[in-house]
Amino acid sequence: MQAVQPKFIVRGIATEHAQALRTGGHDAHGQPPLIAVSQGLGNPCRHCLQLIAEGDTKLVLAYRPFSKPQPYAETGPIFLHHADCERYEADRLPAWFAHLAPALVRGYGADDWIVYETGRVVPGTELAQACRDILAREDVAYVHIRSKFNCFQCRVERG
């Protein structure tokens, strides 16, 4: 008998946080986000988890996906649509994630510390299964997906 695979939910960053950044709030380094014009196809919004269209304005900022600094609270660059967009919350990864090559996937405990044995580098086509495998562990509270450049993409939780 095969083990039941856990369902998951994928979430972009919180709407309240995105709105605060769009209205003058400061990033993880205490600086206002930069406003730039999107160029090319590698500009994903971390709120709606959709690609920002070429020519649209975006925010570029330092983001720490943890509530407070601690040894495992990584900070890195992200993009947000400058205009309002709807937060991504779904039981599947956005289709374009299949093109992440490769992606970093890590599980975190309830204390927000990395669960070391869970770290993986996988092609985008294997992200969903990697998240399911990691979330099957009882000591994992959630998973982060990051790009090959270590940029935060999204949080994945049990559904």
Give residue 4's pLDDT band: very low, low, confident or very high (50, 70, 90): low
Q: Does residue 133 belong to any structural domain of this protein?
A: yes
Q: Give the chain's domain count.
A: 1
- When the pLDDT of each residue in the chain is averaged and rounded to a whole number, the result is 94
Supply the pLDDT for residue 101.
86
Alpha helices, H only, 58-100: none
Using the predicted structure, report yes or no on whether residue 138 has a pLDDT greater than 80.
yes
Q: Does residue 56 belong to any structural domain of this protein?
A: no
Q: Does residue 123 belong to any structural domain of this protein?
A: yes
Q: Does residue 153 belong to any structural domain of this protein?
A: yes
Q: Does residue 81 belong to any structural domain of this protein?
A: no
Backbone region of residue 56 per phi and psi (left: phi > 0; alpha: psi in -120 to 50; beta: other values): beta
Q: Does residue 77 belong to any structural domain of this protein?
A: no
- Of the chain, the percentage scoring pLDDT greater than 70 comes to 96
In the sheet where 76-81 sits, what is the strand order? 34-37, 57-63, 76-81
Parent domain of 144: 90-158
Look at residue 134 and give its three-state secondary structure: helix
Q: Does residue 40 belong to any structural domain of this protein?
A: no
Q: What is the dihedral of CA 58, 38, 95, 110, to 10 degrees?
A: -40
- Are 107 and 114 contacting, i.e. CB atoms less than 8 angstroms apart? yes
Residue range 79-130, pLDDT digits in tens: 999 999 999 999 999 999 999 889 999 999 999 999 999 999 999 999 999 9
Residue range 37-95, pLDDT digits in tens: 999 888 999 999 999 999 999 999 999 999 999 999 999 999 999 999 999 999 999 99
Distance, in Å, from the CA atom of 105 to the CA atom of 60, rounded to the nearest integer, reads 23
Distance, in Å, from the CA atom of 117 to the CA atom of 134, rounded to the nearest integer, reads 9
Q: Does residue 61 belong to any structural domain of this protein?
A: no
pTM: 0.93
